[in-house]
Amino acid sequence: AQTVTQSQPEMSVQEAETVTLSCTYDTSESDYYLFWYKQPPSRQMILVIRQEAYKQQNATENRFSVNFQKAAKSFSLKISDSQLGDAAMYFCASLAGNTPLVFGKGTRLSVIA
């Protein structure tokens, strides 16, 4: 079975600063994918970034990047130059084979002007 753990229920960051959200996971699959989703107050789930486990290179999407440590089963999200619009719930998730998409409990990010 897969598990995803987010140990930070809440985080805050000053506008224009950098923040890192933590996520650890556990899976017995060798081929899997990891995701970070953003959920703003509208509650729409927005894909922020994805990482293929077989790729060693960390994924990046503009101001968002991940630190994927496969041996440690760690998948953290770094947000650079934080903006007010980044304030939201962030969920880490994993997907492997035909097993369900599994989520962590989320981290609520506040951005301080």
Q: Identify the residue among 24, 64, 67, 102 touching other proteins (CB under 8 A).
A: 102
What is the pattern of x (binds other proteins, CB under 8 A) and - over residues 37-76? x-----xxx-x--x-x------------------------
Site string for other proteins, 7-36 (x = CB under 8 A): ------------------------xxx-x-
Q: Which is nearer to other proteins, 16 or 47 (CB)?
A: 47
Closest distance of CB 35 from other proteins, Å: 7
List 40, 69, 97, 112, residue binding other proteins (CB under 8 A): 97
SS3 103: strand
Q: Does 96 bind other proteins (CB under 8 A)?
A: yes
Please check whether residue 64 is in contact with residue 77, taking contact to mean a CB–CB distance below 8 angstroms: yes
What is residue 41's DSSP assignment?
T
Residue with tokens 């089963």: 73
The set of residues, in sequence order, having a beta carbon less than 8 Å from that of 111 and lying 6+ positions away, is 12, 13, 14, 15, 82, 83, 84, 86, 87
- CA within 13 Å, CB half, 16: 1
Q: Which of 25, 77, 106, 109 binds other proteins (CB under 8 A)?
A: 106
